[in-house]
Amino acid sequence: MDNIIELKGLKKAFDGNGVLKDINLTVKKGENVVVIGKSGAGKSVTIKCIVRMIDPDEGSVKVFGKEVQEMNDDELRELRIKTGFLFQSGALYDSMTVRENLAFPLERVLKIKDENEIEERSKEVLEAVGLSDAIDKMPADLSGGMRKRMGLARTIIVRPEIMLYDEPTTGLDTITSREISELIMKVHKQYKTTSIIITHDMACAKITADRIVVMEDGQLIAEGTYGDLQRSEDELIRAFFK
Amino acid sequence: METSSGIRNAIEKIGEEGLFLTSFIKNTFKKGFEWNEFLRQCYKIGYMSLGIVLLTGFILGFVLTLQSLPTLKTFGAENFTPNMVSVSVIREIGPVITALICAGKIASGIGAELGSMKVSEQIDAMEVSGANPMQYLVVTKILACILMIPLLTILADGVAFLGGFVGINLNGGMNGLLYFRKTFQALSFTDLYPAVIKTFFFGFIIGFVGCYKGFNSNKGTESVGLAANAAVVTASVWIIIVDAIAVQLTSTLVYN
Ligand SMILES: Nc1ncnc2c1ncn2[C@@H]1O[C@H](COP(=O)(O)OP(=O)(O)OP(=O)(O)O)[C@@H](O)[C@H]1O
Ligand SMILES: [Mg+2]
């Protein structure tokens, strides 16, 4: 039961175009795996298969030892509660304030009714991501970096065991990127999460990765620690370090 | 080739709509009904369309009266104008015009709102967090439409009578008591209930089409506009089709 996530022979095509061609990946408990790869390589599709937002055409997705494709509604819900998914866009609920964004998963997913507990947990996560002042703001009034933090706060408020990050630092300046990367490590330590982090940002990979896998055209072509990949002779891999 | 894939697409579409409908019904009766959100939607829908519905209702009654007066006068029947206006407003014009206006106002609003939530992955985020976007976003909106469209129609009918009263008083005049007595005299229960029943269906069409188009819009910013637009057009067409069916049904079942 050490393997939290197991992807085997994953294949997916959209309208006849193969996007995932044969993905095999195992993530152990407490491990941070970074996935790097060019735009369109299939990174987002891969992690969407883990929470069954996308159904693969072939292959198996096991999370906590259970086949995701065979789960019933209740099991799937439970899996989704245990799995935090940080969207590339942040996906904040535009029509709600920061406070309501945070209360939403507590009330609707964890079914917490106690106002005080909701308030307390909201303050706790906002503090963790450094957004304590923003509790009454609307998402539209937040900057790009604040939106990412906010998305992260809303994801960790339910205390997930697995975190899936889709490009957490894309579009941010180097300083803010580093802050977000450090935040990911803080969440990792505080909540003991197992994570998959998709990124193009090698600085983020260096900070967060226990192990890096390289995805190219729907396949994983290399894996290793940051140092291993840095020493690689392969042109494709070298390109990421330039 | 062309036509066969066209037919297949059409069948797939109907299948998707059927699934969406089933999911709506299932989620309506699931535990954890979103009362607060439902009430908020009722308020929003009612408030959003009240002004325009009242205005059109008033003008309808007014215009209808001015239009009918001269003709009825040639038969020396101008005293029957309120009776005629009230029957056409209640049976047909009130419900259909209100529904069409609401299709323009509400269905497009819902289509755009859900469409932009879809595009910005908010619906995906809700789903993948383990919450139920069908229950929270769709059930509440459709039920609010089913409740509010009939109420808006009743209000529109009421101000249409007022409009008629103003119209008649600008052209000769009739005292208020007589006018409203004639208006309500002309109406029977068989005028009212088929008309009210069909407004519930109109409400359902507006909510369902708006939600379906928004919920299933494509990714990409231009699809928000497309979803809103498709919602108005589709809802309006369905309202007219359902109205035609309702008129045919009532004339065979009720008036015979
Ligand atoms: N729902 C979908 N329907 C059709 N095609 C899709 C869908 N999702 C992804 N694709 C296609 O799959 C391919 C891989 O997409 P994916 O989002 O996984 O790329 P990515 O590696 O995450 O790239 P990026 O770094 O740009 O986010 C793309 O060509 C995309 O067009
Ligand atoms: Mg992506």
The pLDDT tens digits for B103-116 are 999 999 999 999 99
Show which residues on chain A lie within 8 Å of chain B, measured between beta carbons. Answer: 51, 53, 77-78, 80-81, 83, 85, 87-89, 91-95, 104-105, 108-109, 155, 158
Order of strands, edge to edge, in the sheet holding A66-67? A66-67, A58-63, A3-14, A17-28, A219-224, A211-216, A32-37, A194-198, A162-166, A83-86
Which residues does chain B have within 8 Å of residue A93's beta carbon, measured at their own beta carbons? 117, 122, 125-126
Q: Following CA atoms B80, B84, B85, B90 in sequence, which dihedral angle do they give, to the nearest 10 degrees?
A: 140
Residue A51 has a pLDDT of: 94
Q: Where are the domains of chain B?
A: 33-253
Tell me: pLDDT of A128 over 70: yes
Of the listed ligands, the closest to the CA of A48 is 1
Q: For residue B118, what is the nearest residue in chain A, using CA coordinates?
A: A91
Query: CB-based contacts of B83: which residues, under 8 Å, 6+ apart?
Result: B182, B183, B185, B186
Distance between start and end Cα atoms, chain A: 38
Which residues does chain B have within 8 Å of residue A85's beta carbon, measured at their own beta carbons? 125, 128-129
Which residues does chain B have within 8 Å of residue A89's beta carbon, measured at their own beta carbons? 120-121
What confidence tier does A172 reach under pLDDT thresholds 50, 70, 90?
A: confident
pTM, 2 dp: 0.90
Which residues does chain A have within 8 Å of residue B113's beta carbon, measured at their own beta carbons? 95
Please classify residue B205 by burial: count the beta carbons closer than 10 Å to its beta carbon, then call 0-12 exposed, 13-18 middle and 19+ buried: buried
Q: For residue A106, what is the nearest residue in chain B, using CA coordinates?
A: B131
Residue indicated by tokens 């299933």: B216
Which of A17, A43, A47 is the best mutation target for the ligand 1 pocket, counting ligand atoms within 8 Å of the beta carbon and taking the most? A43
| CA gap B169, B177 in Å, rounded | 13
A109–B130 CB contact, under 8 Å = yes
Residue A89 has a pLDDT of: 85
Q: What mean pLDDT is predicted for residues A196-210?
A: 93
Closest Cα to atom 13 of ligand 1: A40
A84 lines ligand 1 (CB under 6 A): no
What confidence tier does A235 reach under pLDDT thresholds 50, 70, 90?
A: confident
Residue B59 has a pLDDT of: 96
**Cα A199 to chain centroid, rounded:** 10
- Taking only the tens place, the pLDDT of each residue in B211-243 is 999 999 988 888 999 999 999 999 999 999 999
- Taking only the tens place, the pLDDT of each residue in A31-65 is 999 999 989 999 999 999 999 999 999 999 999 99
Query: Is the Cβ of B131 closer than 8 Å to some Cβ of chain A?
Result: yes
Residue B172 has a pLDDT of: 79
What confidence tier does B1 reach under pLDDT thresholds 50, 70, 90?
A: low
For residue B72, report the distance from its CA to the centre of ligand 1, in Å: 68
Q: What mean pLDDT is predicted for residues A82-108?
A: 93
- Taking only the tens place, the pLDDT of each residue in B111-146 is 999 999 999 999 999 999 999 999 999 999 999 999
Q: For residue A89, what is the nearest residue in chain B, using CA coordinates?
A: B120
Q: For residue B132, what is the nearest residue in chain A, using CA coordinates?
A: A108
A12 lines ligand 1 (CB under 6 A): no
Tell me: pLDDT of B256 over 80: no
A94–B131 CB contact, under 8 Å = no
What confidence tier does A1 reach under pLDDT thresholds 50, 70, 90?
A: low
Q: What mean pLDDT is predicted for residues A68-89?
A: 92
Query: Which residues make up the environment of ion ligand 2, defined by Cβ < 5 Å?
Result: A 44
Query: CB-based contacts of B232: which residues, under 8 Å, 6+ apart?
Result: B103, B104, B107, B108, B111
